Structure 1
Amino acid sequence: MIILFMITTSAGWDGLLLPILNYPPDCDANLENPGTSVKGDCGNPSVGIFFFVMYIIISFLIVVNMYIAIILENFSVATEESADPLSEDDFETFYEIWEKFDPTASQFITFAKLSDFADALEHPLRVPKPNTIELIAMDMPMVSGDRIHCLDILFAFTKRVLGDSGELDMLRQQMEERFVAANPSKVSYEPITTTLRRKQEDVSAKTIQNAYRAHLIRRGIIFKRHILANNMLENGGTNQDKKESTPSTASLPSYDSVTKPDKEKQDKSKEEWAKKEKDKNQKDEWESKC
């Protein structure tokens, strides 16, 4: 068997066929072979030629070529798989990484974890960070609690790799069938929104809040101005009333104007008294002379 295995590749088979082609006088037909009942060392050329020809045809042309064909076919299949953007290994890797982010097998993850999950995937499904805007643009369905289903994420990432092709719907159906087969207890859910719609709602809410805040600020400024104007009007009316009810400081008499007449009266009375005394003295002096 070892010798036959050696000539399977058709190398050296003639060296084995040559002793079988011996016939008299090149051999001794009556030679004793100890341990066996066969006599002679001559071969059988017809049987040897038929055996080796058939063996070479069967072993080399059929078996070996069949192995070569199988190898080439596997190589072509591997080449085709490598040419495809996605393969079965990519989907298996997706589910393996999914188990790390969903240890309870709830089939959902929150939108807050989606960015880390997309960055943890391997090429070509990986969406490297920063990826928030790109994930929002995928418009994936969301359920209550901002949760996203496993299949919806896989479909969105697959569509990102393959694009809008005719094979996408068929691939989606196959993925659903495989997912249901691998997860018999598929959770039924009803999406209430999408990632894109949720972002639009957040932006709209922030815009409304900013506009209302600006409105309150403007309203507060106008209200303060109104109060200030009222206070100024009230203060102006009170001051006017005070001016009308009480004389101003400009109309009050000064110290000099009050004290000056008294002083003049005193000086005048002194002069009159001195004049009277002088007249009296002159009169007394005249009477004494008379």
Structure 2
Amino acid sequence: MNLLKAFLSIVVLLALGLIQAYGQVLFSDGFEGYTAGGSPLDANTAGPNAGPNGGPGNPWFGPAPPNLRVVGSGGGISSGAAPTHSGNNMVTASAPSDFDQDWMNISSRLNGGNPFFGNVSLDWWFYDPTGPGNSNYRDYVALAYYNSANGTGGLDYPPASGGNLNPGGAATRLSLGASNPTGFNNNQYQARIPGASDGTASGQWFNVGVRSIGWHEGTIVLGAPNGAATTVSFYIDGVDVLDHAIMVTSGVNTIELNDGFGSTAANYDDVSLSVVPEPGIAALLLCGGIGAMALRRRK
């Protein structure tokens, strides 16, 4: 094999490797490693799923626990006999209208204490128990930046906070699920981009997709880092329902599960955070390699 062929082979292999890297999983949780039977998911409360602040182990924590609870098929408080999305476990609210929140500090656990500014994808599955027309289903997942989750020195949350990030405020909470802001449509799901003013519901809220009973895949993708102009894309069941500028320069540092915000509660399963490499790099390498091969053959 001459040097040109060797070079071209390396270029093509590198491009293919980058393409394969799309979706490289940084974190995944199907809640299989936790004790179910209604046990609290929160690591910051007494129980079988308790864990130290900063790890190792359970990364989920929340304000005034218990918050979400680990259950099996048929254990959702609003979903009857509905099964998990996969495996044996899923999570649901502690009670209707309980306003349960659980967070994971992704900057501390996954990125050396630094926020993610782009090229990441949050994916999860949520169970809508009632479908269109129910205004009491108000649960959503968010990719957020909480001020108190920044600079925690390897911890998940400041010890003095007791696991409550809310008092410190949030620069952004990129949200997808269901909510009831002014102008919401209860036949659709809702997405939120704090700082936006062009929402189809109102201001920062957008009506997206069409509601139906059952499990649905939610995805929030941050494109290439570009400050406040970074593109954030929202998907439901693989369909792109909204693309918008992120509107802030903070990046994101937290995954947020919200449940029991109304009298009808969601179930969640199979949460993951993945790397999304810039597609242009792989495409340029692959096209360059193919083009060089074509020129080689013509000589």
Q: Same fold (TM over 0.5)?
A: no
TM-score range, shorter chain: under 0.3
| TM-score (norm: length of structure 2) | 0.22
Q: With structure 1 as the length reference, what TM-score do the two structures score? A: 0.23
Bigger radius of gyration among the two = 1
Q: Higher RCO, 1 or 2 (CA under 8 Å, sep at least 6)?
A: 2
